[in-house]
Amino acid sequence: MTTERVFGQMPDGRDVPLLTIGTAPGPVVEVLALGATVHRLEVTGGDGQRRNVVLGHPDGAERLASGDYIGGTIGRYANRIAGGRFVLDGREVTVGAHDRGNSLHGGPDGFDVRLWDVVSHGPDEVVLSLTSPDGDQGFPGTVEVTVACRVVGDSVSVEMVAATDATTVVNLTNHSYLNLDGEGAGTIDDHLLVVEADDYTPVDATGIPLGEHAPVDSTPFDFREAAPLGPAIRGEHPQVVDARGIDHNYVVRGEGLRRAAVLESPRTRTRVELWSDQPGLQVYTGNFLDGTRRSTGGGRYRQGDGIALEPQLFPDSPNRPEWPSAVLQPGEAYRSRIEWRCRGTAI
């Protein structure tokens, strides 16, 4: 199966291709060239039903107007940079700051709202590319990025590669929101989550790390064993109250491509394992979905209607030399791989 159609138009009149890969009963993915966005992900649950399990918007205008990053490729720097400032090669760099005084997800005009070029499209793979010019959102260097989305068996992979012609920082991720009961099915409170991490990163009221990582033990952030999301995100822990849920980095155990998280719906018996090669995993429980924007299913998304599991470097790493570095030099290749291993579960 390989299809391509026009999803809509950019404000300047350019068409937005929608590209489909995969074949039922395995995963079928719709990818938008707008934002290199995972628009739909259809899987078969353990109850035998096919469902779209990611949130999305019905058209390009709604996608561009939304500030929720739904399904998009995030860059140049996923997560936050304090004050939109950092020092690189001895000079201060100032980048777009639009989230409580901080830079978030690359700035106000990030990669998720750009029209990417379609490099190739086959039955099980689509490859998109984007050129981010020197000075884009304040970041130095021209950066060339490719995103390859593939379906193999019951797995969907998203591989992101970047190169630069001048010293810069790069931290890319995918910002899909999952709801394994189906897009538009309501909250993910009853979903069970496992995160392969012993520590998380406490943050201030603007989402910037307070200092060192902290143990998850005896906190709502402890998902070392499968636990429902509702009690954690509706609790009274100060970190949860400030964030209106979970919007925190986890320090994933191990290195290389390994399992970072497991999400499961007891209702539909659908399970997704998230595999990643990144040191961190930002868990975001849709805390600021407020009913403003329309959904692919014809409704409106509200708080907790989906969960984003975003593999990446740690937040504010350009200002934290003790953490894994986001610096990319000419001649180097940035690489990040995400896999969603989608399975139904037994009764």
pLDDT digits (tens, 9 = 90+) for 105-136: 999 999 999 999 999 999 999 999 999 999 99
Q: How far apart are CA 141 and CA 293, in angstroms?
A: 34
Neighbour tally for 3: CB within 10 Å:
11
Q: List Cβ neighbours of 279 (8 Å cut-off, separation of 6 or more).
A: 251, 252, 255, 313, 314, 324
Indicate if the pLDDT at residue 200 is higher than 80: yes
**Averaged pLDDT, 66-86:** 97
Specify the pLDDT at position 230. 97
Q: Is 121 a catalytic residue?
A: no
Strands (E), 201-333: 214-215, 227-228, 247-252, 258-265, 270-276, 280-284, 290-294, 300-302, 307-312, 327-328
pLDDT digits (tens, 9 = 90+) for 236-256: 999 999 999 999 999 999 999
Of 268, 47, 325, 313, whose CA–CA distance to 160 is shortest?
A: 313
**Averaged pLDDT, 332-340:** 98
Q: Place 346 in a pLDDT band, splitting at 50, 70 and 90.
A: low
Q: Place 3 in a pLDDT band, splitting at 50, 70 and 90.
A: low
Instruction: Indicate the domain borders of the chain.
Output: 3-344
Indicate if the pLDDT at residue 343 is higher than 90: no
Of 224, 226, 248, 258, whose CA–CA distance to 308 is shortest?
A: 248
Q: Which of 42, 264, 310, 339 is flagged as catalytic? A: 310
- The region of weakest confidence among 95-99, 114-118, 305-309 is 95-99
Listed in sequence order, the DSSP H helices in 83-190 are none
Q: Is 310 a catalytic residue?
A: yes
**Averaged pLDDT, 203-229:** 97
pLDDT digits (tens, 9 = 90+) for 29-52: 999 999 999 999 999 999 999 999
Specify the pLDDT at position 2. 60
**Averaged pLDDT, 287-302:** 93
Q: How far apart are CA 16 and CA 28, in angstroms?
A: 19
Q: What is the CATH number of domain 3-344?
A: 2.70.98.10
Q: Which of 39, 121, 175, 213 is flagged as catalytic? A: 175
**Averaged pLDDT, 65-81:** 96
Specify the pLDDT at position 345. 73
Handedness of CA 178, 181, 186, 192 (dihedral sign): negative
